[in-house]
Chain A
Amino acid sequence: DAGVTQSPTHLIKTRGQHVTLRCSPISGHKSVSWYQQVLGQGPQFIFQYYEKEERGRGNFPDRFSARQFPNYSSELNVNALLLGDSALYLCASSFRTGMDSPLHFGNGTRLTVT
């Protein structure tokens, strides 16, 4: 049974560019959430999607956007990249939203902005 897969694994971009990160959830999971993890910190919640609708949003600027597709995969888009956007971006899937559906994380995409 495949776990959560994310692509690409590593990415280098320059300031001002935009980036698209992709996530495929565990088969049968309908909820996908995105997190930013800066080195030495805990994951920071960015978005949660369930059944293709945004269900939650963290304290991130409008440069960050996401969507979920009919097959429950998801994309995270970041526009006008800043140096401070350099981080590990984690995707997690769960069967549904709520506390009885534990999160399963992918290995992340490491984004470096130069």
Chain B
Amino acid sequence: GENVEQHPSTLSVQEGDSAVIKCTYSDSASNYFPWYKQELGKRPQLIIDIRSNVGEKKDQRIAVTLNKTAKHFSLHITETQPEDSAVYFCAAHPRDDKIIFGKGTRLHILP
């Protein structure tokens, strides 16, 4: 069935270093891949997204890459800062009316 695998489940990086979170999806019909950031006790917020006709998208310190052949996509955060500490969720849309989320990655930025 439709599934999104996300790893690692927990990631600790030194402030200023880069963080990479990876996701794989099972449904080849998926063509939209958003990433959400959820701080403790708060709502998930969209931070970046990518569509299947694009291989990479960048927004300041955040970038997302997509490999449709391998069915995986990744979130890259450079020059990490304390406020980047949160849980990050990847997601895939196998069709317009459905979205499947990964289980999340808890990112800790170490001082």
Contact = CB atoms under 8 A, between A and B. Distances in A.
Contact of B98 (A41, A45, A106, A107): A45
A98 B96 contact: yes
Interface string A16-57: 000000000000000001010000111111001010000110
Contacts of B101: 35, 42-45
Contacts of A56: 97-98
Interface in A70-105: 90, 97-99, 102-105
Interface string B85-102: 000010101001111111
A8 interface: no
Interface stretch (B45-53, B58-66, B67-75, B76-84): B45-53
Interface residues of B, number: 25
A56 B93 CA distance: 12
A108 B103 contact: no
A43 to B, nearest CB: 5
A108 B97 contact: no
B104 A40 contact: yes
Interface of B: 4, 6, 31-32, 34, 36, 42-46, 49, 51, 89, 91, 93, 96-104
Given A41-B103, A56-B98, 18 more contacts: A41-B104, A42-B4, A42-B6, A42-B101, A42-B103, A42-B104, A43-B101, A48-B97, A50-B97, A56-B97, A58-B98, A97-B96, A99-B31, A99-B93, A102-B34, A104-B46, A106-B43, A108-B43
**6 closest residue pairs by CB, A with B:** A56-B97, A42-B101, A99-B32, A105-B43, A55-B97, A98-B96
